[in-house]
Structure formats: structure tokens, C-alpha cells
Structure 1
Amino acid sequence: MNITRETLWLILGFTGQVVFTGRFLLQWIYSEVKKRSLIPVGFWYLSILGSALLLVYAIYRQDPVFIAGQAFGFIVYLRNLQLIARNKTLKE
């Protein structure tokens, strides 16, 4: 089996998209279980991972629109995790 470099990049891009999409599935299932709309912490971890993978892929593709969108999102997801961690520290 001969996997080209381009195939590996496509695998990375699709993996990032699957992880990024998985966060919505997680949020939906979590909210259904809790019977109200909630965002679990795992949503933000999947957001960070998916966004990082997609950002790397966008940089490889040299797509400035895709890069800007994922870079901004990555910062927002990271900030949400910081706020969650800070809130946990304050409660302890």
C-alpha cells in the first residue's frame, strides 16, 4: 500500500473535521440526557483538537480564509477552557 503525502494531509483534514463535528454530537447527546441545553467541558476539548487539526490542514493548503476562521475559533475555545479551569479553582 503506497500512501502519498497528499493522502496523509487529506486524512488529517478529514480527521480534524470528524473531531470538530463530534463536538456537536456530544453536546446534543449530553443535552438530551440532561433534558436541557448544556455544553459539556468535552465540547471545548473536541473544539480545540478539531480546530488545531483543521488549522494545520488550512496552513498546509495555504487558505487564508480557513486559517483565519480556525485560528480565531481556537482562541475562543482555549479561553473557554481557561474560564472553566478558573471557575473550578475558585470553587475549591
Structure 2
Amino acid sequence: MFGLDWESLIWIAIGFGGQGLFMMRFVVQWWSSEKAKQVVVPVAFWYFSIGGGLVLTVYAIHRNDPVFTFGQALGLVIYFRNLHLHYKGKGRAAAS
């Protein structure tokens, strides 16, 4: 297929898998907002962001693409921080 060897095809599948995970965050956010009839960012959004971001970062490193690697790696810091803030806020709400 396209003159690619098996290793290349596997890495392309990994890249598409990461992109699929990353896309799912928008589907989950859209679906949650439609159900609530207002803009909602569910916690699953951040988990899909992390999953997709991790896979795409590994893929970008494999491709030796510093721009793609930096962009995905920086996003991971933000996604983990948002999850931290989410759970920290839940702890404060429970303590009140």
C-alpha cells in the first residue's frame, strides 16, 4: 500500500489512532453541551485530550518533527493542569 513497509503502516495507524482520540474530545464536548443545552466541558474532554496528545506526541517524536512534538507536548501540560484544577475544585466543594 503506497509503497510503505509494515513499520511505516503501523506508525501511520498509531498517528491516526491518536488523531481519533483527539477528535473524540470534541465529540464528547459537543454531545454534553447538546444534552445540557449550554456549553459544557466534561472531564472526559481532558482525558481524551491527554490520550490523543500522548499518542500524537510519541508519533511526532518518531517522525522527528520538532514543531509537532513541541505543540503536542505543550498541550499535555495544559490538559494535565486542567484535570488537576478540576479535581482540586471538587475537593474544595466537598470540604465546604
> TM (normalized to structure 1)?
0.94
Residue 89 of structure 1 and its aligned partner are, at CA, apart by 1.4
1:9-61 CA-to-partner distances (Å, cap 9, x unmatched) read 11110000001011001101100000001100000000000000000000000
Show the 5 A alignment for 1:1-92: 4-92=6-94
Unaligned runs of 5+ in 1: none
SS in structure 1 opposite 2:40?
A: coil
How far apart in 2 are the matches of 1:30 and 1:90? 24
Query: In the alignment, residue 26 of structure 2 is paired with which amino acid?
Result: F
Residue 7 of structure 1 and its aligned partner are, at CA, apart by 1.1
Rg: which structure is higher? 2
Aligned residue pairs total 90
How far apart in 2 are the matches of 1:18 and 1:69? 17
Unaligned runs of 5+ in 2: none
Would you identify which runs of 4 or more consecutive aligned residues in structure 1 move more than 2 Å? none
Percent of aligned positions with the same letter in both sequences? Answer: 46
